[in-house]
Amino acid sequence: MVHENGGDFDRLLEVSKKRKEWATLPATDKLAILEEIYAIITKEMEFGEWQDIGKATAEMMGFDTTNTAEGKAEAASQTFLLAMVAKDEIEHLLFAYRVRAGITKPPKQLTKGNYETRTAINGQVVLKTFPILPMDKMGIAPHIHGEVWMDPSKIRDESEVEAFAFDKAWGEDAADVKEGGLEVVLGAGNYNALTFSDVAQAMFVRNYVVYLKQHPLRNFVNSLLKRIFAPLIARGYLALEDHTTNERCAALVYHPTVDALHITGGKPTHDLLVWGADPKERERNLRENTPKIKAVTSELGAVSPWVVVPGKYKPKELKTQASIIAMFVHNNASCNCNAVKCIVVAEEWDQKEEFLRLVEDALSNHPLPVPYYPNIEERWKAFCDQYPNGKKIGSKTGMGIGERNLTAGGLNTGKPFLLPYLKIEARVDLGSPAGKEAASNEFAFKNEPFAPVFTVATLQGTSQTDLMQFAKTSSTFCNDYLFGTLSGAITTPPSLLKDDSVQTLIAEMKYGTVGVNNWNGFGYVLRNSGMWGAFPGETLDNVQSGIGKIGNSLAVPYFQKMVFVAPITHPNNFFLSTDFDAERRRFEAISKFFLYKGVGNLIDLLSAVTGVNLKIVGLALSSAAAAGLAGYYLSQ
């Protein structure tokens, strides 16, 4: 079947024929497929196959992965991210399906009568979810503690909490496809790993067969996805396609055999697909509430806040938190749905200026991010036009385009370029009607930059002497004046974590993920506590950060948001570093150990983390021990 603007639909139609078969496939059969996929990831694939994709990703971004230490480090970090998410995703789905099939018993902490629950300061029931499973306790973040906050309209007391309730938890998303459904997944443009998870979740949680259309930046990733998902492709449950044209994309989305769509992207793209590209058609469809496709899940963006509680911090605590914020302003040229976009501080806080200086220092003492993402320069310039007095923060390293041997990257065809960070300062007065109106109209609060731009919002009338007022003002500001509900973060001194003011702030933040003392994006990779997605309540005609969630391998019904708490300082934190050789060794070592385990890989990991070649140390110790034993026996 061929459409004049859409191309060939034969593979789409072949996958669609498998809808009912997949929907009714027993859990044991799906478990067997997951085990095949897991074996490919952890046994059959050579590490070089992962590295090839990491290298291709870094080169697409504009890095030189052959001649520069920076490029090699970027390739290693991209390798790590994809390998970590792929293995973690399948590992947690495997556990869930073993429970579902009656092969494995749930952990004791997640059985009736043994749930670790508490009642939050606002009356919500909260369930601990991380770390509980063995793979979480042995994973990359056992120091983080995660929990889910239950929907108070559904869960009124601890007795109503459930886990591994698959019909309720997974059935919420899959109620319309129990007899089979075909979902088109539009791959993410900013990370390889997101598309992997989107496919796995659509199939093993939401119960769809899937047709994946890759993002134009990342067609090269399909080779690896075909390798990993070969058991699904061979059985006809999944098909993948490279991006060709936008017309082809639209033809796939609107094909009559398609039942659902999942998109990772931005609100403008979502609205064009759901309501129509033509302005008149879009206006009519919105007025008449006739979306072009009704079953849509999405993960979109936000102006992600980072609220700094105005307490008293030790120097190391202050520097650590500022460094983490800088890392995730910088990361991926700030083209992340969960990038730090608005640092929220009290007007009267003794350490405010020091803290903001530390953020700037961390940014300026590192090479600038590479702005490879499409239209990033135009978005950055739009903010510069809106804020001509904004502060441009360059790099003090002397490492520019030539020194780094950068190319244009992405879909850019001209010469490579770099963009300094743009720091915007905004004073927010929510104590007056005029101040509220000004905050409602602030460009930086309503528009996600998807570029190296961040705002410092100073809340007038707040101080470190009235923390409850700060908690209420800052949560109101985030909830009511910032675009999006995907994720946000809070920095607080450990001494204040249990204080009513901080607990109120956490409770009142209406975000799908709230991170405490670390980047909110960690919520994506904590697969049990990691029930990632926008705060519930968004609709097709009024979407901001998206509809639906991924994760929930514990099959907990009726949760509203997830919260995780990290130590305020920890050696596993990610910071900006110019020691690119050490960074490459760390990422390669942790990737190998994470994928394959083994004593040798563990020694390599410890060596990379400590900076000491433990293999040489081990040989030296063995030699010394052997010499000692020989001397002992010769003396007898």
Mean pLDDT of the 330-348 span: 97
Cα–Cα distance between 79 and 586 in angstroms, integer? 12
Mean pLDDT of the 444-464 span: 98
Matching CATH number, 304-483, of 3.40.309.10, 2.40.37.10, 2.60.40.1930, 3.40.50.720: 3.40.309.10
Task: Assess contact for 177 and 203: CB atoms under 8 A.
Answer: no
How high is the pLDDT of residue 626? 38
**C-alpha closest to that of 226 among 239, 237, 215:** 239
Q: What is the 3-state secondary structure (H, E, C) of 26-70?
A: CHHHHHHHHHHHHHHHHHHCCHHHHHHHHHHHHHHCCCCCCCCHH
Is residue 541's pLDDT more than 60? yes
Cα–Cα distance between 334 and 342 in angstroms, integer? 12
The residue type found at 357 is R
The residues, ordered by sequence, that sit 6+ positions from 538 with a Cβ below 8 Å of its Cβ are 485, 544, 545, 546, 547
- Any idea which of 15-19, 395-399, 523-527, 536-540 has the lowest mean pLDDT? 523-527
Give 256's DSSP letter: T
How high is the pLDDT of residue 173? 53
Residue range 135-145, pLDDT digits in tens: 888 777 788 99
How high is the pLDDT of residue 171? 75
Task: Assess contact for 303 and 448: CB atoms under 8 A.
Answer: yes
- Give residue 375's region: left, alpha or beta (phi > 0; psi -120 to 50): left
Residue identified by tokens 């088109």 is 184
How high is the pLDDT of residue 435? 98
Is residue 624's pLDDT more than 60? no
How high is the pLDDT of residue 81? 96
Cα–Cα distance between 511 and 489 in angstroms, integer? 9
Domain boundaries, the chain: 2-103+168-299, 304-483, 580-635
Mean pLDDT of the 287-307 span: 95
527 — pLDDT class (breaks 50, 70, 90): low
Share of the chain above pLDDT 70, in %: 94
Mean pLDDT of the 543-559 span: 94
Is residue 621's pLDDT more than 70? no
Tell me phi and psi for residue 383, to 5 degrees.
-70, -35
Residue range 571-590, pLDDT digits in tens: 878 899 999 999 999 999 99
Q: Read off the tokens for 181.
A: 């459904």
Q: Are strands 145-150 and 559-565 parallel, antiparallel or unpaired?
A: antiparallel
Partnered with residue 427 across adjacent β-strands are 458
Share of the chain above pLDDT 90, in %: 85
Tell me phi and psi for residue 532, to 5 degrees.
-90, 135
How high is the pLDDT of residue 221? 98
Residue 339: exposure state from Cβ atoms within 10 A (0-12, 13-18, ≥19): buried
Neighbours of 4 (CB within 10 A): 7
Q: Could you give the count of Cα atoms lying within 13 Å of 253 in the half-sphere of its Cβ?
A: 29
Cα–Cα distance between 391 and 393 in angstroms, integer? 6
> Angle 580-596/599-610 helices, nearest 10 degrees?
160
Cα–Cα distance between 121 and 113 in angstroms, integer? 22
Give 264's DSSP letter: E
The residue type found at 242 is D
More confident residue, 628 or 445: 445
303 — pLDDT class (breaks 50, 70, 90): very high
Cα–Cα distance between 145 and 563 in angstroms, integer? 8
Task: Assess contact for 567 and 517: CB atoms under 8 A.
Answer: yes
Residue range 240-255, pLDDT digits in tens: 999 999 999 999 999 9
**C-alpha closest to that of 492 among 346, 360, 336:** 346
CA separation (Å) from 305 to 310, 337, 514? Answer: 15, 12, 10
Mean pLDDT, the chain, whole residue set: 92
- Give residue 533's region: left, alpha or beta (phi > 0; psi -120 to 50): left
Is residue 622's pLDDT more than 50? no
172 — pLDDT class (breaks 50, 70, 90): low
Mean pLDDT of the 612-625 span: 51
Cα–Cα distance between 363 and 365 in angstroms, integer? 6
Q: What is the 3-state secondary structure (H, E, C) of 319-346?
A: HHHHHHHHHHHHHHHHCCCCCEEEEEEE
Cα–Cα distance between 545 and 448 in angstroms, integer? 11
Cis bond upstream, residue 131 (ω within 30):
yes
What beta strand segments (E) does 252-303 contain? 260-264, 296-299
Question: For the chain, how many helices (H) and strands (E)?
Answer: 26, 20
Residue range 75-96, pLDDT digits in tens: 999 999 999 999 999 999 999 9
The CATH class for the domain spanning 2-103+168-299 reads alpha beta
The residue type found at 243 is H
How high is the pLDDT of residue 614? 66
Torsion sign across C-alpha atoms 373, 264, 590, 49: negative
The residue type found at 67 is N
Q: Are strands 182-186 and 260-264 parallel, antiparallel or unpaired?
A: parallel
Is residue 4's pLDDT more than 50? no
**Angle ∠(107,109,114) on CA atoms, nearest 5:** 130
Asked if domains 2-103+168-299 and 304-483 share a fold, the reply is no
Is residue 199's pLDDT more than 70? yes
Task: Assess contact for 213 and 186: CB atoms under 8 A.
Answer: yes
Q: Are strands 549-550 and 532-533 parallel, antiparallel or unpaired?
A: antiparallel
Partnered with residue 463 across adjacent β-strands are 348
How high is the pLDDT of residue 346? 98
At 563 the three-state DSSP class reads strand
Is residue 630's pLDDT more than 60? no
177 — pLDDT class (breaks 50, 70, 90): low
